[in-house]
């Protein structure tokens, strides 16, 4: 499926009536945020808004308290129940804007109330690693999404993107490579089975 067809499928969701939620899932570095931003740009702010799962990262201080800071990005380093609760609010709609958190990569912290989703926006695009993950509180996410697409780029390209991203945000290259191999790829293995539950696989 080429990008024109992908964009057309998103537009059909946006124009289907009511509020629809499109999920974009995949391993770290798969291009989820890039695709979500592109779709929102093509559709325009009147039709689509992007709400990333990464806004539900636990704060660094809480990860340290829980002893999970060295596994940041693993399923239990997010507020999965809070994410599901926000998706329910977005699905239910209402007369006022719903505010979602964002993740600031410069700070490496979530920032509350960063993303307004107006009541008239018909398509919410949410992207993140664990939209198709079935363990614990993550199991509540998939039923709240109208469609979920799974991004599956070449693994070599995906890993290079990840290392480059960490380096751009101030990590030494050796540290970035170690983190990707030890943490990001462990999470990628958890995410991979979700591919079979996706409505669409984008390679």
Domain ranges of the chain: 3-202
pLDDT attached to residue 169: 84
- The Cα–Cα gap between 78 and 72 comes to 9
pLDDT in tens, 19-59: 999 999 999 999 999 999 999 999 999 999 999 999 999 99
The β-bridge relationship of strands 48-52 and 147-151 is unpaired
pLDDT of residue 1: 72
Question: Which pLDDT band holds residue 142 (cuts at 50, 70, 90)?
Answer: very high
Task: Compare 166 and 145 and report the one with higher pLDDT.
Answer: 145
166 pLDDT higher than 90: no
Would you place residue 134 in the very low, low, confident or very high pLDDT band (cuts 50, 70, 90)? very high
pLDDT-based confidence at residue 106 (cuts at 50, 70, 90): confident
Tokens 């039709």, located at residue: 47
Tell whether the model's pLDDT for residue 170 goes beyond 90: no
The helix or strand, by DSSP H or E, that contains position 110, with its residue range, turns out to be strand 109-117
55-80 mean pLDDT? 96
Question: What is the C-alpha to C-alpha distance for residues 136 and 80, in angstroms, rounded to an integer?
Answer: 9
Helix (H, G, I), strand (E, B), or coil: what is residue 8?
helix
pTM for this model (two decimals): 0.94
How far is 28 from 5, CA to CA, in rounded Å?
24
Q: Which residues contact 151 (CB under 8 A, 6 or more apart)?
A: 24, 25, 26, 30, 31, 32, 35, 202
**Helices (H), ranges, the chain:** 3-14, 32-43, 60-66, 80-92, 155-168, 173-179, 185-191
Determine the Cα angle at 1 with ends 75 and 120, to 5°. 65
Q: Which two tokens stand for residue 163?
A: 């290392």
Q: Please give the pLDDT value at position 101.
A: 98
Indicate the fold that domain 3-202 takes in CATH. Answer: Rossmann fold (3.40.50)
Helix axes 3-14, 32-43, angle to 10 degrees: 60
Q: What angle do CA 16, 21, 24 make, to 5 degrees?
A: 120
* CA–centroid distance for 114 within its chain: 15
Is the confidence at residue 126, as pLDDT, over 80?
Answer: yes
Q: Which letter does DSSP use for residue 98 in this model?
A: E
């Amino acid at each position: 499926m080429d990008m024109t067809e992908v964009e057309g499928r998103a537009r059909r969701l946006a124009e289907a009536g009511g509020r629809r939620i499109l999920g974009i899932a995949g391993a770290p570095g798969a291009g989820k945020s890039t695709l979500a931003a592109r779709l929102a740009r093509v559709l325009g702010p009147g039709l689509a808004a992007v709400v990333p799962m990464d806004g539900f990262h636990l704060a660094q201080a809480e990860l340290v308290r829980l002893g999970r800071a060295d596994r940041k990005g693993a399923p239990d380093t997010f507020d999965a129940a809070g994410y599901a609760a926000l998706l329910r609010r977005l699905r239910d709609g209402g007369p006022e804007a719903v505010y979602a958190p964002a993740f600031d990569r410069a700070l490496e912290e979530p920032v509350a109330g960063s993303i307004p989703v107006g009541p008239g926006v018909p398509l919410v695009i949410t992207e993140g690693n664990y939209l198709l993950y079935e363990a614990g509180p993550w199991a509540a996410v998939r039923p709240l999404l109208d469609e979920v697409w799974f991004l599956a780029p070449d693994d070599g390209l995906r890993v290079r993107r990840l290392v480059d991203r960490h380096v751009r945000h101030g990590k030494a290259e050796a540290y970035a490579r170690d983190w990707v191999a030890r943490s990001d790829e462990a999470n990628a293995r958890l995410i991979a089975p979700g591919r079979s539950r996706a409505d669409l696989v984008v390679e």
